[in-house]
Structure 1
Amino acid sequence: MTTTFRRSSPSALGIDAAGIDAFVSALGSTPAVEPHSLMVLRHGAVAAEGWWAPFAPDRVHLLYSLSKSFTAAAVGIAVRAGLVDLDATVISHFPELDAEVTDERTRRMRVRHLLAMASGHRADTIDRAEATDPTNTVRGFLLLPPDEEPGSVFAYNQPCTYTLGEIVRRVSGETLLDFLRPRLFAPLGIDDFAWLRDDRGAELGYSGGFARTEAIAALGQLYLQRGVQDGERILDEDWVDQATSAQVPNPDEVNPDWSRGYGFQFWMARHGFRGDGAYGQFCVVLPEQDVVVAMTGQSTDMQAVLDAVWAHLLPAVDRPGSVDADDRLRDRLAALALPPLGGGPGDGPLGSLPAAPPSSPVSVGGDSGLEAVHLTQDVSGRWVLTLVDASGEVTVPVGEGEWLVDGSTAASGARSGDRVVVDVRFVETPHLLHVSVDLEDGTVTAAWQTQPLHDGVATLRRPD
């Protein structure tokens, strides 16, 4: 990745490193929170950054719904270029559907309503849209009449974002990625961004983006700088104002940082605004403090992550720090790691496989969706795990007392008697798979720490 940001220290940027240190401790000690990366920027410079091994700064990470904020940026760029009018009706971009889409509310739906997740539907329509037309998500979506007048109610609705992506593709004649590369990614120094595509070859838009943590920070910094990068205006200031202010209320949301309203594919928050994605992908922007926080992870309690930001990191801004605290934090961040298997009570070396190693050609217990698990040993004696599901198969070398990284996976194993446990991390995604094999009776169970939302084991990686 092109290095976009100047590196500095917390105290030089007016942040007490002890507060960032306390924030890192909170992330590591909070149940249902697992951090993978962290970058804290102030005044456009990096105050602190760290990656929990086996995750690393040069690896992309699946963003899930944080992808929406990049899709919205594409719309904002198209608006600035005069290619898209926020007040144009959605149906005007799909004239081939004009005769079919007869519902009056749908026909009054505007581009700005899609951006604000205010299509008039009371709930997400992705399953119904795809069932209505399995080959054309936009057509399936527009054939579902809204429950209320567009613009009047909020509902987190994936086809809204997908349709925005399709509008950009139509007005530009390019894919979303091709549209964004010279207009957003190149100016921000982002040289690696990939997107999952549907069966039609279209980027999902609402999910499926893969990017490095620094790319997340760069997007947040662009909005913090009100659409200007290195003197070049990329997004109109009016667009930034609308995108980062509440366009539609969502008071029914339970968590306090999800109930402050929604902008243009950004959530409002108790402090500033943010883009986020499932399992703890965050781009938090704090305009009053001139701070951006970029994070990836595997966290099922995302509110707890934000609570930790407000409790520890935010109060550290404009609080006196010290060079000694900076040094301690730097050393800690450089040594971050997620613990591998091994070292627990009864754990021992993997040793040798039985003469007839277990294999599960029919079924695997647990919720993994795996069809088969095979254990082998290579010529060096290293254990190798092969996982098979509907997406294909992936072969994973297993480390002992360490994460053995191989391509887009990292695995660690340990043995207790006749039972072997292996943890497999798909290091370009949030996901961790727990596998347990009984070497005596050959039974296998496998379960996800967090369930993948799109993919199987063979496709949990950056798409080509």
Structure 2
Amino acid sequence: MKTLRVLSLLVLSAATAFAAETATGRLPRSTPEAQGISSTALLGFIATAEAKIQSLHSVMLVRHGQVVAEGWWAPYSAEERHQMFSLSKSFTSTAVGLAVAEGKLSVDDPVLGFFPEEAPAKPSATLRAMRVRDLLTMSTGHHNEDIQGFPYGSEESVVKKFLALPVTHKPGTFFVYNTPASYMLSAIVQKVTGQSVLAYLGPRLFAPLGIEGPVWEASRQGVSMGGFGLSIRTEDIASFGQLYLQKGQWQGKQLVPASWVATATSRWMSNGSAPTSDWEQGYGFQFWRCRFGVIRGDGAHGQFCVIFPEHDAVLAITAGTRDLQGVLNVVWETILPALQRGALPADAAAHGKLQAKLAALTLKLPAAVATPSQAAVIAGRRYVFPKNAQALEALTLAPSVRQPGATDVAVTIYGTEEKVTLDGRVWVRGELKSGPVTGPVALAGAWTADDTFTLEVVRYQTPFTMTHRLTFTGDKVKWESKPNVGAGAMTLVGKRE
């Protein structure tokens, strides 16, 4: 939980959660039926996704250039940026395409030519043969194990460390998913333009698309990470996908050359042959090929920009899930067959149900029970923990005097006690100010059994959520933490002072 400062209380309502449809959006809005999709089918998508995927954070579907459905699972919201992870790569590819169009470089330029001062003393023939094209298609010639644990945060030149990697295969012949190669693309753009990819794309892509305040992590050398690190909003993903669907055109202007759009989204490398895997349908210039003629950019834990060229549609998704293929399977099962050629008859009743459902989306809140007698037994008692990696020192729970049915939670970490009042019906927004993880969070907490208090912590600008279960037995408390994705599970046992 780390240091907590309560900022605001998020109360779900149709008026607030669905404000995106009436707010001034960059993309026009329409009913699904007017664009050839039934609201009932979209309700089916939401129901299936909630049943099969843990869990989506946002969704926006665009058909014929019109947003026909959009929703955010609270505490995620339309105005908040979300980490894109490897979906960043498709934006880096776009920067390369723009630099190519401006005559700054060619995809056939050798990589070493940009960084002669960073090259090994005796570069191998395979390294000398590596071209920008090979970075784009992830066919640099590296083995997977050679790029594991790559030091993006190095004080020393990250470019130099990349060029020092062994290049076992002839570039252009061997596919390995290669995020360091995407960093190199960013470094090359910065080398030839004098600007980071973030700055370079500002007037060329972000501003025209209405993408406000994008954030992109950078290396210690000031290079945008390229393969990850971009944070933007759900509608920004949708606008980017729509730009590619429109072959680089936006509001009458050619922002990205149509030739680059066609080239970047074409199949350049084989990456497998499994007929049911959307990770083995071929790879382009930092874009994936999918089944059913679909193209996508994607990022870890379920960040998706899905482009349907044959159906004139774009789907933007953010999520925090371990099952990325499962997300796409739900899309193929529910949305793909719903994309009809012509408009459908208006269906006000179904559309109303869809709007109501989208307005009420929320991540699962703790399943609260009536406040147990245990709450009074432990009220105000301080539990202390042995030294641990999380620097968690002490915990106190007590029924809230100011807010009936809620619980006052106090946690001491790094020597500081912070307090928050929680219940299981609403999300409380706060901010982690110290510890290994910092930034905005939303929390909900409640007694979920006679001896168990459950605390949900959502880092709502990221895919990451954490469920904490505090089980009280005698004079002890067992604190179990489980992340939705990635690492971080822990079990601690504290004792009452």
Please, what TM-score do these two structures have when normalized by structure 2? 0.82
Q: Whole-Å Cα distance in 2 between the matches of residues 275 and 387 of structure 1?
A: 41
Which residue of structure 2 lines up, in the alignment, with residue 18 of structure 1? 40
- 1:297–1:146 CA distance, 2 compared to 1 (3 A): same
Q: What SS does structure 2 have at the residue aligned with 1:341?
A: coil
Asked whether 1:412 is paired with 2:444, we answer: yes
Q: Whole-Å Cα distance in 2 between the matches of residues 266 and 27 of structure 1?
A: 24
Which residue of structure 1 lines up, in the alignment, with residue 209 of structure 2? 188
Asked whether 1:357 is paired with 2:382, we answer: yes
Q: Whole-Å Cα distance in 2 between the matches of residues 89 and 207 of structure 1?
A: 23
Which residue of structure 2 lines up, in the alignment, with residue 135 of structure 1? 156
Q: Whole-Å Cα distance in 2 between the matches of residues 386 and 123 of structure 1?
A: 42
- 1:241–1:105 CA distance, 2 compared to 1 (3 A): same
Q: For 1:257-309, what per-residue CA distance to the aligned partner results, in whole angstroms no more than 9, with x for missing partners?
A: 11110011110000310011111110000011000000001111111111111
Q: Whole-Å Cα distance in 2 between the matches of residues 254 and 348 of structure 1?
A: 56
Which piece of structure 1 moves more, 373-382 or 45-54? 373-382
* Matched AA of 2:355: R
Which residue of structure 2 lines up, in the alignment, with residue 173 of structure 1? 194
Contact 1:396 1:406 in 2 (8 A): no
Q: For 1:198-236, what per-residue CA distance to the aligned partner results, in whole angstroms no more than 9, with x for missing partners?
A: 333432221121111001111101110111111221211
Q: Whole-Å Cα distance in 2 between the matches of residues 115 and 347 of structure 1?
A: 58
Contact 1:341 1:412 in 2 (8 A): yes
Contact 2:119 2:160 in 1 (8 A): no
Q: Which of residues 349, 362, 365 is equivalent to 1:340?
A: 365
Q: Name structure 1 gaps, 5 residues minimum.
A: 364-368, 454-464
Q: Which of residues 423, 433, 437 is equivalent to 1:400?
A: 423
Contact 1:283 1:295 in 2 (8 A): yes
Q: Name structure 2 gaps, 5 residues minimum.
A: 1-22, 432-439, 489-497
Contact 1:243 1:265 in 2 (8 A): yes
Which piece of structure 1 moves more, 115-124 or 149-158? 115-124
Contact 2:146 2:166 in 1 (8 A): no
Q: Whole-Å Cα distance in 1 between the matches of residues 48 and 428 of structure 2?
A: 27
Q: Whole-Å Cα distance in 2 between the matches of residues 115 and 452 of structure 1?
A: 29
- 1:19–1:419 CA distance, 2 compared to 1 (3 A): closer
1:25-40 matches, cutoff 5 A: 25-30=47-52, 32-40=53-61
Contact 1:268 1:274 in 2 (8 A): yes
* Matched AA of 1:43: H
Q: Whole-Å Cα distance in 1 between the matches of residues 226 and 269 of structure 2?
A: 21
Q: Whole-Å Cα distance in 2 between the matches of residues 394 and 248 of structure 1?
A: 54
Which residue of structure 1 lines up, in the alignment, with residue 481 of structure 2? 446
* Matched AA of 2:461: E
1:121-270 matches, cutoff 5 A: 121-123=142-144, 125-127=146-148, 129-130=150-151, 135-251=156-272, 256-270=277-291
Q: Compare relative contact order (CA 8 Å, sep 6+) and give the higher one, 1 or 2.
A: 2
Which residue of structure 1 lines up, in the alignment, with residue 316 of structure 2? 294
- 1:355–1:33 CA distance, 2 compared to 1 (3 A): closer
C-alpha deviation, 1:418, in angstroms: 4.4
Which piece of structure 1 moves more, 422-431 or 326-335? 326-335
Q: Which has the larger radius of gyration?
A: 2
Which residue of structure 1 lines up, in the alignment, with residue 436 of structure 2? none
Q: Whole-Å Cα distance in 2 between the matches of residues 305 and 361 of structure 1?
A: 41
* Matched AA of 1:339: K
Q: Whole-Å Cα distance in 2 between the matches of residues 54 and 129 of structure 1?
A: 33
Q: What SS does structure 1 have at the residue aligned with 2:482?
A: strand
Q: Which of residues 392, 395, 399 is equivalent to 1:375?
A: 395
- 1:395–1:172 CA distance, 2 compared to 1 (3 A): farther
CA RMSD of aligned residues (A): 2.8
Q: Whole-Å Cα distance in 2 between the matches of residues 202 and 137 of structure 1?
A: 9
C-alpha deviation, 1:327, in angstroms: 2.2
Q: For 1:7-35, what per-residue CA distance to the aligned partner results, in whole angstroms no more than 9, with x for missing partners?
A: 111011111222211111110000x5311
Q: Whole-Å Cα distance in 2 between the matches of residues 326 and 137 of structure 1?
A: 51
* Matched AA of 2:420: P
Which residue of structure 2 lines up, in the alignment, with residue 74 of structure 1? 95
Please, what TM-score do these two structures have when normalized by structure 1? 0.88
Contact 1:90 1:107 in 2 (8 A): yes
- 1:111–1:348 CA distance, 2 compared to 1 (3 A): farther
Which residue of structure 1 lines up, in the alignment, with residue 492 of structure 2? none
- 1:424–1:59 CA distance, 2 compared to 1 (3 A): same
Which residue of structure 1 lines up, in the alignment, with residue 353 of structure 2? 328
Asked whether 1:280 is paired with 2:302, we answer: yes
Q: Which of residues 452, 459, 470 is equivalent to 1:437?
A: 470
Contact 1:40 1:46 in 2 (8 A): yes
Q: Whole-Å Cα distance in 2 between the matches of residues 249 and 430 of structure 1?
A: 29
Q: For 1:27-66, what per-residue CA distance to the aligned partner results, in whole angstroms no more than 9, with x for missing partners?
A: 0000x53111000001111011111111111111111111
Which piece of structure 1 moves more, 42-51 or 195-204? 195-204
* Matched AA of 2:194: G
